Amino acid sequence: AQSVTQPDIHITVSEGASLELRCNYSYGATPYLFWYVQSPGQGLQLLLKYFSGDTLVQGIKGFEAEFKRSQSSFNLRKPSVHWSDAAEYFCAVGLRGSQGNLIFGKGTKLSVKP
Amino acid sequence: GAVVSQHPSRVICKSGTSVKIECRSLDFQATTMFWYRQFPKQSLMLMATSNEGSKATYEQGVEKDKFLINHASLTLSTLTVTSAHPEDSSFYICSASTQGHYGYTFGSGTRLTVV
């Protein structure tokens, strides 16, 4: 079955430390890939997306993600976390050739220690 | 470009009443709109897909008679929660797509509280 897995439910990092949030997908072909951030009580903000081409994608707020076909992964990274990055992060995939709906992972909650 | 607007952002209604949520594509014509639901501390789940001028397609387990979706124009889709009950309290969010634009642009969402 098609699925998106975010194996870490909750991650705590110190401010200034590096961050990596994991995302794996299970699909027959390479899907479109997305990372969103959601602050409490808020909507979704798109951090970055991958459709094709360069497998290292730069996003907003200093985030980047790397698509690794061999590992079916699209991990999100940030070299230095700020306290304002504390939020819920969702990985999502979209099937090529579909109408455009996304399938979301369960999310990873990021806490930042001062 | 590709802006999706959703209204209202918050609504509180009494049990048994109906609530309408609007999703608009502001700068493109959305042939397809998607409605998702997010329960507290959970992920987003697709509820239904609506194509302009045709009936919506509902995901398994979603009651089509409770969640009425209308996509009457290329820029507007509405979700009506009929006879709302407290268990319908949730965060509802829409996205829109068209030829050449995948459905990754979301509205700001609507937090529905049924009391």
Interface probe, candidates B5, B97, B102, chain A, greatest A C-beta count within 10 A: B102
* Local confidence band at B54 (pLDDT 50, 70, 90 cut-offs): confident
Structure confidence by residue, pLDDT tens digits, A56-112: 999 999 999 999 999 999 999 999 999 999 999 999 999 887 878 999 999 999 999
Tokens 């509405």 correspond to B78
Q: Kindly state the greatest CA–CA separation across chain A.
A: 44
* Local confidence band at A16 (pLDDT 50, 70, 90 cut-offs): very high
Q: Rounded CA gap, A41 and B43, in Å? A: 13
Chain B residues close to A44, C-beta within 8 Å? 44, 93, 106, 109
* Local confidence band at A47 (pLDDT 50, 70, 90 cut-offs): very high
Q: Which residues 29-88 of A are in CB contact (within 8 Å) with B?
A: 32, 34, 41-44, 46, 49, 51
Total CB pairs under 8 A between chain A and B: 61
Quickly list DSSP for A56-89. EEE-GGG-EEEEEGGGTEEEEEESS--GGG-EEE
